[in-house]
Amino acid sequence: MTPNFVGRLQTRIFVLAVIGVPVVLVLGFFLPVRTAPGASSSEIRADVWEAGLFTLLVVAVVGCVLWEPIYHGLQQYRWEKDWPTLFGLLTGINEGILAYLIVREIGPTPEFAKVEAGGFSLLFALVWLATWLWLNGPMRVVFIRWRFRGGRIV
Amino acid sequence: MVSDDTITIGGVDPTADAGTGPKGSGDLTDQLVDTDIWSDELVAGAGIPVVEAPLVTVGGGIGSFVLVDYLRIAGLDTSHVRSLGIQERPWQTYQYLTEVSQIPAAERLRSDSSGCPGNLWGFPSYALREAWREKTFAPLWNVLTEPILTDYWTPRAGTAFADMEREAGRIGYWDTVVKGQVRMVRRRHGGGYFTILTPPRGAAQTKRVAYRSRHVHLAVGYPGLRFLPDLQGYRQKHRDYRRVVNAYEPHEQVYEQLRRNPGIVVVRGGGIVASRVLQRLIDDRDRHGAQTTIIHLFRTYIDSSHGPSLFMRRKGADGWAFQGFNWPKGTWGGQLRDQLEKLEGDARKQLLGVMGGTNTPHRKLWINQLDRGRREGFYRVYIGEVQDVAPGPDNTVVTRIKQRDGSQVEVPADFIVDATGLEADIKEHRVLADVLDHSGAGRNVMGRLEVERNFEVRGTRSEPGRMFASGSATLGGPYAGVDSFLGLQYAALQITDELARLGFCRRIGVARSLSQWWRWARNRRV
């Protein structure tokens, strides 16, 4: 990928909204995590949705404000001015860790402080992978100019 | 105009369609040649039959093919476009050039996995397709980890040809093809353009046919080969075309002879062609026992990272500058594209200069081969300026070099391979020279055809028509990667978007793109 800064922001927001949200919604039905002792599947689902959607919001905001500027800065040291595919995948690790800490700190309800690392990691990894596959795959079929405009959608 | 010793590509004689004829004979007249803007009467008066075609693309090569692909997907009917050229297949010249420069169909090009001339979306990419076809993870691992853990993955030449073949059939490209040599393109009184075609002998009643079109697209490729001046001088003076060869002309006799008898070959150039020639020479040593000594002549020797600033440093070693593709990746669609697009004149020239310069991709195979060559002594390097090339004793050719420290050295060899490039002055191409002389076109900062950001040729407007150009003839404009699959697609997209703005075809939006891609996937005709 060879993004420019505006493209990074647009792509991040788009993919979290259009891919991230549906994936979280679907995972609510399947994610094999225990969110509380004896929780029913509908309670788990609600928890997954609550945590998942809030995390998407955190990833969007923190990404635009902190991570993308860092990535863009690092990219300036590369001759090709590209952002290697591997980086796009591995940055899920640093973003996931920070997102986890933030979600536990500033989650809107007291339950957020008790979000389990295991379940969170699984949810985060699956959503990250889905968005990464989308960006490296079908995104260019939906928007044919996107890859020529540094990731800008509009 | 076209010099006698211009080497022709693919054996096509550019002078076959020269000349003018008496009025009314169906040939060009002196009056037509001398008049910049033609009226319908002037053309009719010469007896040249006129064929209507809303859009004509001149060249019939990959550039033309890619534009037709975009236009068809944008809803244009095949009857609305004509692709004029001499090639049997759009990739014919490209295939010829890659073969002689030592990239046969099974070897890999220097082109990104997502630059698929037969698929404008770039999905599924060539790496994905190769992984699927050959049931292997290797291409996927490569594109996942490039260029960090692996060198940039590139497709085999044959993959691109097969891709284009499939797409050509699917979009009805063959219905748009008209075989013949294009002589010139001129503006028309009242708007639009005339394109003069010289059909193959016997194919038409008259010597010339005129295509009257609203829009014209030029994608004529390279005018010809380019020789280093000293080698050009040697070949002309001594009429020796066997021992001093250009990598872009057939030169199999060099390898054959070296396989038969031990010999010395001098290779000049520091780009991908030189890399491929060196690989061929070393492969022949390894596989066929050729006792070849390779002397590599560098004029500029890059031995480390180089560049004007901390943020613009390109890797290099052992004489080579390393870069994944012929331009930095960000020039195709990233921040370097944005940067270049905004510049004009000297600023543009400067950025192009920094990003340009001869370079070759970093490939572990090549690095290892040359390391081995240095160790075992069959690969030697000289650095300096060539003073003179002359015949020597025992059927050799002697190159006299002034090295960096000022000392002179004479290098005798059995063969010299000029692997320095293909570019030639665009004036050596008949059609481009004519457009410069008669249709208002101008030169850009690198001496080639000046185009706008939407690839309209600056100065050639003939309302309501437009003249566009893409490919190598436009290098030096606001877009760097013009001479690549992805670059031709970028240009075609800009041109198609502009034509859609003019109401000539539809705009390829989300819905159209999705439905057309689905047709592509099922190999359904457009």
pLDDT value for B421: 84
Q: Do A81 and B330 touch (CB under 8 A)?
A: yes
CB pair distance less than 8 Å for B517 and A141: yes
- Please check whether residue A154 touches B, CB under 8 A: no
Q: What is the pLDDT of residues B195-213, one digit of tens each?
A: 999 999 988 899 999 999 9
Which of B123, B144, B334 lies at the smallest CB-CB distance from A2? Answer: B334
pLDDT class for B424, splitting at 50, 70, 90? confident
Higher pLDDT, A28 or A41: A28
Q: Does residue A36 carry a pLDDT above 80?
A: no
pLDDT at B14 over 70: no
- What residues of chain B lie within 8 A of the CB of A68, using their CB? none
- What is the per-residue pLDDT across B31-78, written as a single tens digit (0 to 9) for each? 999 999 999 999 999 999 999 999 999 999 999 999 999 999 999 999
Contact call for B313 and A79, based on CB within 8 A = yes
- Please indicate if any CB of chain B lies within 8 Å of the CB of A79: yes
Domain boundaries, chain A: 5-149
pLDDT number for residue B1: 34
- Report the half-sphere exposure of B336 (CA within 13 A, side-chain side): 26
The model carries a pTM of: 0.95
Angle formed at CA B227 by CA B224 and CA B231, multiple of 5 degrees: 150
| Identity of the residue in B307, B493, B517 whose CB atom sits nearest the CB atom of A148 | B493
Q: Given a cut of 80, is residue B507 above it in pLDDT?
A: yes
Strands, DSSP E only, in B253-362? 263-268, 292-298, 306-309, 312-314, 316-317, 320-321
Given a cut of 80, is residue A41 above it in pLDDT? Answer: no
In angstroms, how far is the first alpha carbon of chain A from the final one? Answer: 17
Q: What's the 3-state SS for A49-94?
A: HHHHHHHHHHHHHHHHHHHHHHHHHHHCCCCCCCCCHHHHHHHHHH
SS3 (DSSP) at B386: strand
DSSP SS3 for B246 = strand
Burial class (CB in 10 A: 0-12, 13-18, 19+), B45: middle
Q: Do A81 and B143 touch (CB under 8 A)?
A: no
DSSP A64: I
CB contact under 8 A, B513 and A150: no
Q: Which of B151, B329, B341 to mutate to test the interface with A (most CBs of A within 10 A)?
A: B329
Amino acid (one-letter) located at B198: T
Q: How confident is the model at residue B15 (pLDDT cuts 50, 70, 90)?
A: low
B330 pLDDT tier (thresholds 50, 70, 90): very high
Q: Supply the pLDDT for residue B402.
A: 96
Task: Tell me the pLDDT tens digit for each residue of A71-119.
Answer: 999 999 999 999 999 999 999 999 999 999 999 999 888 888 888 888 8
Partners of residue B147 in chain A, C-beta under 8 Å: 80, 84
User: Where are the extended beta strands (E) located within B108-222?
Assistant: 177-179, 181-188, 193-198, 209-213, 215-218
Res B21: pLDDT: 81
**Interval B160-200: pLDDT, tens:** 999 999 999 999 999 999 999 999 999 999 999 999 999 99
DSSP count for chain A of H helices, then E strands: 7, 0
Nearest CA in chain A to B311: A77
Any B CB within 8 A of A88 CB: no
pLDDT digits (tens, 9 = 90+) for B218-257: 999 987 888 899 999 999 999 999 999 999 999 999 999 9
Q: Which residue of B has its CA nearest to A85?
A: B144
What are the Cα distances from residue A64, in Å, to A15, A122, B356, B462? 13, 23, 33, 46
Report helix, strand or coil for A143.
coil
Structure-token pair, residue B101: 């420069």
Q: Flag if B311 and A2 touch (Cβ within 8 Å).
A: no
B297-310: average pLDDT: 94
Predicted confidence (pLDDT) at residue A3 exceeds the cutoff of 60: yes
pLDDT of residue A111: 81
Quote the tokens at residue A26.
């679907």
Lowest mean pLDDT segment, chosen from A126-135, B7-16, B87-96:
B7-16
The ipTM is 0.94
